[in-house]
Amino acid sequence: MQNIDFESSMSADVIGKKKGELIKSNVYIEYVRIIAAFGIVWFHSGVAGFQIAYSGLAAFIIITFFLETNRAPSRSLQINVLATRLILPWLFWMALFAIYNVLRHKPALQPTGNLATSVLYGSAPHLWYLPFVFALQTGYRAVRQAGGTRQVGYLCAFAVPLGFIFVNYWRPETITLGSPIAQYAQAILGVGFGILCSLAVQDRRWSLALLVSVAATFTAFRVPGIGLPYLVALMCVAPAIIFGARADLKIANPSAISQLMYGVYLIHLPLIGLLKSEIHGPYLVTLVFLIACIVVWGMRRFGGIIGLTITGGGKN
């Protein structure tokens, strides 16, 4: 049975768990992943509506920790697998973007105020996500292996709605602290949502906690990047992960495309930089997305183990 790591969390081959076993999934999450990756390209392009496009990253986070919670807690931590999928691509792209920045007479790392946060934030504004997810997945696996899944669920049931309700208190403070703290605080809500979605699928008694958390997003609607993007992400993700496995619709499986999405996330920024002076609006977003898909496919198809590794597609 397929391992659940970061790449398979972006290629949802499992959906739900019963008595410690993983249940085979449908193709619906694969479509959500493609839409989410397109949203991330849209967000970083700065094209009109990009604030809502943050929903793409929120969707990825929710899916990742939905699937992580489905992972049987008795399994080994598989830190080596996580490191291969997350840390090795992070180091490669960190170095590449740092060289690119220096050649443009800019700081090698994104300036954040101190060296530690600059390293965590990375040499490009999307690289913070990889060490963030690596640390959380590793820690969460260790907690679950020790029997702490339910306790984490209780924490999420309280913390997620309170996070939205009191967003006007903590959001300005985290922005003041700068990157990547602001990104971490924004993303942690999606981690909680993913865990609650999984628990609600496994046990309906968690459904109330999930519904309360969803309702709480409305209290943060006026805060950019928080309320509306998370609600949009949930509107896309929740039907797929909760009802998708039960649906019996015959639709094409887009996994050949959706498995490229992690690579699209890794390489789309330089493509935006190359094309944005010549192409604008939705044409820019669409072209960058399509070229990124082709480049990732080519690197994985013809680049050998290096091509697979730097695009996050290495074999387990």
Residues 267-297: tens digit of each pLDDT: 999 999 999 988 988 999 999 999 999 999 9
pTM of the predicted model over 0.85 = yes
Phi, psi of 16 (to 5 degrees): 105, 160
Does 2 score more than 60 pLDDT? no
Which helix (H) or strand (E) segment holds residue 24: the answer is: strand 21-24
Candidates 12, 202, 10, 145; CA nearest to 89 is 10
Does 106 score more than 90 pLDDT? yes
Residues 126, 38, 226, 190, CA torsion sign: negative
Q: Which amino acid is at 295?
A: V
Domain boundaries, the chain: 6-310
**Integer Cα distance of 153 and 150 in angstroms:** 5
- The strand pair at 14-18 and 21-24 is best described as antiparallel
**Integer Cα distance of 134 and 51 in angstroms:** 25
Structure confidence at residue 198 as a pLDDT band (50, 70, 90): very high
The pLDDT value recorded for residue 238 is: 83
**Integer Cα distance of 183 and 31 in angstroms:** 25
